[in-house]
Amino acid sequence: MRTIAIINQKGGCGKTTTAVNLAGRLAADGSRVLVIDLDPQAHATLALGIDPDLVEDNLYDVLADDDGAALDRVILDVGKAIDLAPSGIALSALEQKLAGDHVEARTERLSHALAALPPVYDYALIDCPPNVGLLSFNALRAADEVIVPLEMSIFAVHGVQKVLETIGLLSDRIGYDVEIRLLPTLYDARTRNAREMLMEIRDLFKDLCFSTVIRSSVKVRDAARRGVPVVRFAPSSNAAHDYGSLAFEIQALTARHDSERPAAQRVGFAPTASWPTTAEPVTATEVRSAPGPNGSGGRSGSVVPAR
């Protein structure tokens, strides 16, 4: 199972949209997908047609249980090869509940819960909250890869370096390195600002960027209101096409990962601008020194490929 955390401490950049619609596309392509809603706002739960107020047990009941409650006891079948580990407002109290635990015990709860699942899923997609805290720590510890959605605004471009540094710092704290990629979202090619922002993002972050760009689409909001991924609601829409492209990249990267290394070994992925490619992987350790939005270096200077 490939576990992907979708994280950005900034709200409104498309984290939940990406989690739900990437899941829909991967499932449509034949994969079995588990969506893990780690945001107490429960937007991914709602977007998959489940009212969190009507759910008897959610992720809080699993992560707060000192005896290690089974994750599969809260998982819901939301149809067509997608399962959901739902969220709820109680999840916001998890950090206080576990305040007295050792840091490793607190940050590895989701990882342990996922490891105990039967091997029925191809992908687990974690929708993270728009902040840095215990829930994000758990997501990073459980993940093989991190996707950072990045909308087309000057504030996002100036803030993404902080996001990457934060992920690096979290990786330092939990003693675990993850692979990171940026996903341009909410792109409107009709505006000069969006076109310029996309060029700047690709110029600054190069190999960290997916080739796919997620365009703005009203169909995404319509699909969420109906509680289904956009590929089911409007399969010929731009949004369905864009998430199909992203799913293709993810699948290609997963296939490359499986062919190059033993399944139990975590390695970096090559950039996805073209296939095949011989470029080297980038992980959280290196990304903390990625160039800033004004061309300045990070804590260490320039990005160094992982060895």
| CA gap 159, 176 in Å, rounded | 23
Q: In this structure, is residue 299 part of a structural domain?
A: no
Half-sphere exposure of 22 (CA within 13 A, CB side): 33
21: CATH:
3.40.50.300
Q: In this structure, is residue 306 part of a structural domain?
A: no
85 in Cβ contact with 34 (< 8 Å):
yes
Half-sphere exposure of 54 (CA within 13 A, CB side): 6
Strand order from edge to edge, sheet including 2-6? 76-79, 82-85, 33-37, 123-127, 2-6, 145-151, 179-185
Domain count, the chain: 1
Q: In this structure, is residue 298 part of a structural domain?
A: no
Which letter does DSSP use for residue 235 in this model?
T
| CA gap 222, 233 in Å, rounded | 8
Q: In this structure, is residue 295 part of a structural domain?
A: no
- Dihedral over Cα of 143, 119, 18, 111: its sign: negative
| Encoded amino acid at 180, one letter | I
Task: Provide the residue-wise pLDDT of the chain in tens; the chain has 307 residues.
Answer: 999 999 987 888 889 999 999 999 999 999 999 999 999 999 999 999 999 999 999 999 999 987 767 899 999 999 889 999 999 999 999 888 887 777 777 888 999 999 999 999 999 999 999 887 889 889 988 999 999 999 888 777 777 777 788 788 777 776 677 888 999 999 998 999 899 889 988 988 888 899 999 999 999 999 999 999 999 999 999 999 999 999 999 999 888 877 765 543 443 333 333 323 333 445 555 544 444 444 444 433 323 223 2
How high is the pLDDT of residue 214?
Answer: 95
Element (H, E) at 148: strand 145-151
DSSP per-residue letters across 81-117: TEEEE---GGGGGHHHHTTTS-HHHHHTHHHHHHHTS
Q: In this structure, is residue 292 part of a structural domain?
A: no
Contacts of 14 (CB under 8 A, 6+ apart): 149, 151, 183, 185, 186, 214
- Owning domain of residue 141: 2-287
How high is the pLDDT of residue 286?
Answer: 53
Q: In this structure, is residue 49 part of a structural domain?
A: yes
Q: In this structure, is residue 304 part of a structural domain?
A: no
Q: In this structure, is residue 207 part of a structural domain?
A: yes
